[in-house]
Structure 1
Amino acid sequence: MQRRVNTAVLFRGLVLWLGLLLAGCASVGPHRHETAARIAAAARSTQVDCSRDDACATPSPVLAMARETWAASTPQAPRHRALILDHAPDALLLRIHLIRSARHSIDLQTYIFDEDDSAQLVMDELEAAAYRGVKVRILIDQLAALRKVETLAALASLHANLELRLYNPVLDRARLPLPMYAVASLCCWRQLNRRMHNKLLVVDGLVGIVGGRNYQDVYYDWGQGYNFRDRDLLLAGPVVADMAANFEAFWTSPRSVPAERLGDVAHYLRRNGPPPPPHHPFRQPQRVRALLAEVDDAALLKARFVDPALPVGAVSFIADLPRKHRRESDAEVAQNATVGEASRRLLDLVAEARQQVLLQTPYLVLSPAAQAVFRQLHARPSPPRVLVSTNSLAATDAFMAYAISYKYKRRYLRDFGFEIHEFKPFPAEAPLELGQTGAGLDDDEDAGEVPSADAAATTPVPDTAKTNLRARRLAARGLDQVPVSEARRPSPLASSGGLPVRLKHAGLRTGLHAKSLVVDEQVGVVGTHNFDPRGDTLNTESAVVIADPGFARALAESILGDMAPANAWTIGRRDEAPILPGVEYTLTKLSERMPIFDLWPRKYATSFEYVPGPDCPPTRVPPSPFAPDFRRCNQPVGDFPEVDIGLKWLGLRLFTAFGSGLAPIL
């Protein structure tokens, strides 16, 4: 009897707690939203610091290349230039340069926008562009939009030329603290689970960047303990108009809500008024100074971004639209097995392969539609070779996603013919510069101030009091240092931005985040799609497809470099059991096929390390686990090399055994 009473009391307490949380999450009401919107609108500056037609933009060899490319194009014969951005610091340098070079408009769309050094630097430049007279529009997915409500309120009130919207907000909020995230998971799971994963930057409608990078230190080699190996594309030509049109579709969608019209931001504005522009100090100001010293160097920019840009053939931008997030339940999505436009076109491209497919994805969790395509490829009399670059457990930031991938290694090797190469946490040849992370920098305050974004203009702008105040604020950010948190994960179930597992050895590690595809060395793809179930049915995604052999070979060389023995372990079949190997294989196969209770301890495959020797010269060619002499130069190193597995082994086994039902949302 006492136990039933205690249970009832506990239940009533839980209901009360949830009720209070829901009450706190309730919308503030339309009239209060309007009040907050008026407060923000009244506070926005209309001052423009430049009276020139070009908005005092920095002269840019990159924009000049874009204008020349457009001028040479016709509807019948479009011209394009494309450049693979593998080098992370260059990807940030180019973004800052393009923002400074904008004359008319900047459209930025992203999944994550943090408040660490790289993101703060980009935001500084966007603010300065607005004051120069450039129309700036920023669209961020709600789940990973900045860190503080105060920052959102400040940006919403900053300038009439700067607009900030959040995509698909849940519970009428811009930020979801953990308790409210739990409530949202209970009341609004369908909405919470549908995210905008698109990423692009379009400047003046002439030039664009698309790819996997968000706005956070770990995407630009500025992370202190962990960084992503990622990839973007710089594009010039008529396809940029398609990118701009896709951004416009998201911007005008009812799901994209101005920040000041969300409950928590509106409450802050009504209670406190507009806060001053955010000006947090940089953690590593010397690193920022080094980058800004190059941002207006025309010769350097031409050598890095113009001269190596390839003239390419047919280029298309494929992307989902907000209508992908139509009001449909998760059960209906699963039943219909519908995939978005981006997913469908990528799968069609893979299905056309004849000789070889290079697939790079950080999270090897394939959707049913993708599995069907690869199974059909492998069933051909002469199937194409399929090489896959993905993360090892030691390198990944998504423990749960790796656990599901680990479950299906036998299927990947035997049923799909995958040659899997798992990225090492300390790759010997990955394009990472230790100095760019800030490690070992001498934090000397006398080294000089961080140049303000206002210094972008090549001729003096009016010396107004407000301009001087903003310059002092921006420069002051380089004088003090405060620690910031490491990479964060927007969602416990989303396959990005998490924390890696503990390793046996300390060091600055790298994890794969690039999403790319090459088919028959004729067509190359770079985009946001992880080739996973989320990308098929839940996230909106985008990618650039370039049908050009020269570009495809350059992209293939980059991906194959990530698969090289110095950078990756190869997954191959482990040694057969000494007793009844056929029985063991059958049990392994049956266990893998079970949606739950996959408890067989020995998996079909394990990791192999290439060991140079007299008969095994050093090589950059990824070894095939199906080659007859594979074992001559490759030795097994266990399922999880470099990982200090500890109790993680239990978690991994539990997710392998019971977590396959989570695959559609990982």
Structure 2
Amino acid sequence: MNRVLHLLALALLALALTACMPSRKDIRSARADARALQDTATTCGLPDRCAQESALYALGEFAMAQSQPDAPRHEVTLLESGEDALLARINLIRAARFRLDVQSFIYAQDDSGFLVLSELLAAARRGVRVRVLLDQLYSVDDVELVAALASAHVNFELRLFNPTFGKARTGPFEFAAGILCCFTRFNQRMHNKLLLADGVIGITGGRNYQDRYFDWDPAFNYRDRDILVAGPAAGQMQESFSRFWRHPRAVPAAALHDVRRRLSALERGHALDPDTLIATAQAHGRVAAMSRAASDPSVIAERLLARTRSVGEVEFLSDLPNKTLERNDPSERDLSLELLALFEGAQDRIVLQTPYLVFSRTARRSLRALHEREHPPRIIVSTNSLASTDAFPVYALSHKYKRRYLREYGLHIYEYKPFPGSAPLDWQDALIDLPPGAPVRRSLGERATESRRAIGSGAQGSRGSARGGRVPLSREGVRMGMHAKSIVIDDRIGLVGTHNFDPRSDRLNTESVVIVHDPAFAAELAEEVLADTAPENAWVIAPRPKPVVLSGLNYSLGKAFEALPLFDIWPFRYATSWEMKPGCAPVPRDDPKFSECYQPVGDFPEVQVPLKSIYTRILTAFGAGLAPIL
């Protein structure tokens, strides 16, 4: 009887989730009501909507003019620095003349998020059509702000993808109910990220809209990567965005139940003021500095155009918005299979960067097949350490399978340090601290020391109890975590995108990627990734020194426990972290001189948690069955 009641409750929850979604009639009515509140005036009457002159935007026009159907021309720029990535976005928003499309998985209510919002609203008011599509679960959840944006201007429209129970804000109860009743639908998130100006130039990659993606967080920032693409591939970006925008799960913000209630309480002509709600962003000097830099041609030339290169063939691939609903539809492009085909075509070397080293069953088969070739390609992996990750449960699974990764797949794994010796530099530091032509990487050691005085309790958060999936560390500083997603195949093909190369990206999230078929670009991308594997930036994962006795028994027992989905409690793991000794040069783990030049530093260096506690939490609390959703 209890089982029947349990199933009935789940069925009712599922019905509620479906029934609570706004109907087409509700959407039409809500949009009409919102239009009655929206401002229709524009600040510019010129044909170009008073767009800012931009050499960056001109790359799109140039590439389009130079391209032929059988000989495409593209201009591409790797955006390694967080502030460069934000600088490029603001510049393109100001340069847009007709249309701006923005797509994101996370959109936070902080300095960078508010800055971009204010720029998008300004573009709408000068006559540019602005469309913003955000995944509902991890984006703006302030109903007052969403209502203000929904009623702000006739040229600005916000839609939220796959809203839980048809609302802008998901509370704890709705979150739990969504998981219980409709696990697959609730977990199918729009992980795509895109900013597209006039269909000629766009930015995509790993970054969401949140301070930590743009080097602005006082305690924790991401090592991430975007790519700016100008040329015909922008048309593929436009097609992908349009498909998501038109999909039934992309619900206009005005039609969401909690937003509509707020708008219904307003009198005609008395709309909410979004500028007041986002004005706090203007209080910080860095926002004003970024705003000035985005209109400075010399800054754009130095920070962005100097790193732009001309290439030929570029592809933008994206999952369809109904990815988990129609996986057997032959018309659907499965991005994961496209990536796997490129992976399997490698002959000499694969350089992979991913924050989460957990592979799907299909990927595991592919890796094993590559390693079993007579002449297997060398696979170099840059990923997070426990000290740098903000996703502790995911690291638990990667730690569980280190033996398999090294022995059966032949991976060369480098785990990112939380305080890397060098990292991409933001533009302000470059202009203030470095002479012209200086490298775009600098030591974070001194910056961590300075930050303890500058940010006070913010840095202390790096040592305290775990926050946001991060474990406490043994020292203070501005912690960094890996978030970039890139692949280089045989130094001839470079990929930058949103796909984490993990089961969740394979099965649940929608993803996108830019593929550049150009050896020079591939070499540049490989250089960036390999810099993150340098001894000052990463620990090498290699087999631990063999015990004096019973080494074979230890290996066999460890392998047996590894096969268990739960209760993998064998304490003597196959692999550990190694640090290069002073005076040595970097060598791979299979080099005969490796043990002479490197020393083991424990499984979880820099982490301030007792070893026994770590083993208990990592190896017993999480099982292999969780891999598809973590």
Q: CA deviation at 1:303?
A: 2.8
Question: Given residue 268 of structure 1, which amino acid in structure 2 is its aligned partner?
Answer: R
Is contact 2:371–2:377 with CA below 8 Å preserved after alignment? yes
**3-state DSSP class of the match of 1:281?**
helix
Match of 1:592 in 2: 562
Matched, 1:628 2:592: yes
Is contact 2:14–2:182 with CA below 8 Å preserved after alignment? no
Match of 1:545 in 2: 515
Matched, 1:659 2:623: yes
Is contact 2:100–2:197 with CA below 8 Å preserved after alignment? yes
Q: Which moved more, 1:514-523 or 1:315-324?
A: 315-324
Counterpart selection for 2:46 from 47, 52, 57: 52
Question: Given residue 64 of structure 1, which amino acid in structure 2 is its aligned partner?
Answer: A
CA distance in 2, matches of 1:588, 1:372: 21
Q: CA deviation at 1:578?
A: 2.3
Is contact 1:359–1:516 with CA below 8 Å preserved after alignment? yes
Is contact 1:25–1:180 with CA below 8 Å preserved after alignment? no
**3-state DSSP class of the match of 1:130?**
helix
Match of 1:452 in 2: none
Question: Given residue 211 of structure 1, which amino acid in structure 2 is its aligned partner?
Answer: G
CA distance in 2, matches of 1:109, 1:52: 27
Q: CA deviation at 1:582?
A: 0.5
Q: How does 1:55-70 map to 2 (within 5 A)?
A: 55-70=49-64
Match of 2:487 in 1: 517
Is contact 1:28–1:267 with CA below 8 Å preserved after alignment? no
TM-aligned CA distance change 1:25 to 1:279, over 3 Å: farther
Q: How does 1:442-461 map to 2 (within 5 A)?
A: none
CA distance in 2, matches of 1:24, 1:246: 27
Q: CA deviation at 1:178?
A: 1.4
Match of 2:310 in 1: 311
Q: CA deviation at 1:22?
A: 10
Match of 1:500 in 2: 470
Match of 2:341 in 1: 348
Render the CA deviation track for 1:576-600: whole Å, top value 9, x for unaligned.
2222111110011111111222111
Render the CA deviation track for 1:385-441: whole Å, top value 9, x for unaligned.
11000000000010000000000000000000000000000001111459779xxxx
Q: CA deviation at 1:67?
A: 0.9
Q: Which moved more, 1:284-293 or 1:387-396?
A: 284-293
Is contact 2:219–2:458 with CA below 8 Å preserved after alignment? no
Is contact 1:212–1:514 with CA below 8 Å preserved after alignment? yes
Q: CA deviation at 1:287?
A: 0.8
Is contact 2:303–2:427 with CA below 8 Å preserved after alignment? no
Render the CA deviation track for 1:153-199: whole Å, top value 9, x for unaligned.
11110111011111111211121111210111112212111011111
Question: Given residue 389 of structure 1, which amino acid in structure 2 is its aligned partner?
Answer: S
Match of 1:580 in 2: 550
Q: How does 1:398-547 map to 2 (within 5 A)?
A: 398-433=391-426, 498-547=468-517
CA distance in 1, matches of 2:72, 2:27: 46
CA distance in 1, matches of 2:84, 2:285: 17
Is contact 1:287–1:436 with CA below 8 Å preserved after alignment? no
Match of 1:390 in 2: 383
Match of 1:557 in 2: 527
Counterpart selection for 2:211 from 208, 212, 217: 217
Matched, 1:293 2:289: no
Is contact 2:84–2:426 with CA below 8 Å preserved after alignment? no
TM-aligned CA distance change 1:63 to 1:34, over 3 Å: closer
Counterpart selection for 1:380 from 343, 367, 373: 373
TM-aligned CA distance change 1:501 to 1:484, over 3 Å: closer
CA distance in 1, matches of 2:408, 2:245: 42
**3-state DSSP class of the match of 1:113?**
coil
Counterpart selection for 2:157 from 157, 163, 179: 163
Is contact 2:84–2:427 with CA below 8 Å preserved after alignment? no
Q: CA deviation at 1:24?
A: 11
CA distance in 2, matches of 1:302, 1:68: 16
Matched, 1:144 2:130: no
**3-state DSSP class of the match of 1:279?**
helix
CA distance in 2, matches of 1:46, 1:320: 35
Q: How does 1:32-111 map to 2 (within 5 A)?
A: 36-111=30-105
Q: CA deviation at 1:262?
A: 1.3
Question: Given residue 590 of structure 2, which amino acid in structure 1 is its aligned partner?
Answer: F
Q: CA deviation at 1:54?
A: 0.8
Matched, 1:132 2:120: no
CA distance in 2, matches of 1:283, 1:586: 60
Question: Given residue 413 of structure 2, which amino acid in structure 1 is its aligned partner?
Answer: I
Question: Given residue 619 of structure 2, which amino acid in structure 1 is its aligned partner?
Answer: R
TM-aligned CA distance change 1:80 to 1:20, over 3 Å: closer
Match of 1:321 in 2: 320
**3-state DSSP class of the match of 1:51?**
coil
CA distance in 1, matches of 2:177, 2:459: 25
**3-state DSSP class of the match of 1:529?**
coil
**3-state DSSP class of the match of 2:278?**
coil
Question: Given residue 321 of structure 1, which amino acid in structure 2 is its aligned partner?
Answer: L
Q: CA deviation at 1:101?
A: 0.6
Match of 1:359 in 2: 352
TM-aligned CA distance change 1:103 to 1:283, over 3 Å: closer
TM-aligned CA distance change 1:253 to 1:520, over 3 Å: same
Question: Given residue 303 of structure 1, which amino acid in structure 2 is its aligned partner?
Answer: E
Question: Given residue 428 of structure 1, which amino acid in structure 2 is its aligned partner?
Answer: G
Is contact 1:22–1:183 with CA below 8 Å preserved after alignment? no
Q: Which moved more, 1:517-526 or 1:279-288?
A: 279-288
**3-state DSSP class of the match of 2:166?**
coil
CA distance in 1, matches of 2:614, 2:600: 21
**3-state DSSP class of the match of 1:322?**
coil
CA distance in 1, matches of 2:415, 2:614: 19
Q: CA deviation at 1:36?
A: 4.0
Aligned residues: 587
CA distance in 2, matches of 1:34, 1:436: 49
Q: How does 1:254-265 map to 2 (within 5 A)?
A: 254-265=248-259
Match of 1:275 in 2: 272
Is contact 2:459–2:476 with CA below 8 Å preserved after alignment? no
Question: Given residue 522 of structure 1, which amino acid in structure 2 is its aligned partner?
Answer: R
**3-state DSSP class of the match of 2:154?**
coil
Counterpart selection for 1:228 from 200, 222, 226: 222
TM-score (norm 2): 0.88
Is contact 1:174–1:262 with CA below 8 Å preserved after alignment? yes
CA distance in 1, matches of 2:625, 2:291: 47
Q: CA deviation at 1:304?
A: 2.5
CA distance in 2, matches of 1:421, 1:112: 27
**3-state DSSP class of the match of 1:550?**
helix
**3-state DSSP class of the match of 2:548?**
coil
Is contact 1:107–1:138 with CA below 8 Å preserved after alignment? yes
Question: Given residue 313 of structure 2, which amino acid in structure 1 is its aligned partner?
Answer: A
Matched, 1:643 2:617: no
Give me the CA root mean square deviation. Answer: 2.9
CA distance in 2, matches of 1:486, 1:504: 11
Is contact 1:78–1:238 with CA below 8 Å preserved after alignment? yes
Q: Structure 1 unaligned runs (5+)?
A: 1-7, 438-482, 488-496
CA distance in 2, matches of 1:323, 1:564: 40
Matched, 1:203 2:197: yes
Q: CA deviation at 1:275?
A: 2.3
Is contact 1:146–1:152 with CA below 8 Å preserved after alignment? yes
CA distance in 1, matches of 2:262, 2:19: 15
CA distance in 2, matches of 1:628, 1:577: 19
Is contact 1:221–1:432 with CA below 8 Å preserved after alignment? no
Render the CA deviation track for 1:558-583: whole Å, top value 9, x for unaligned.
00000000000000001122221111
**3-state DSSP class of the match of 1:365?**
coil
Question: Given residue 305 of structure 1, which amino acid in structure 2 is its aligned partner?
Answer: L
Is contact 1:36–1:270 with CA below 8 Å preserved after alignment? no
**3-state DSSP class of the match of 1:556?**
helix
Q: Which moved more, 1:25-34 or 1:216-225?
A: 25-34
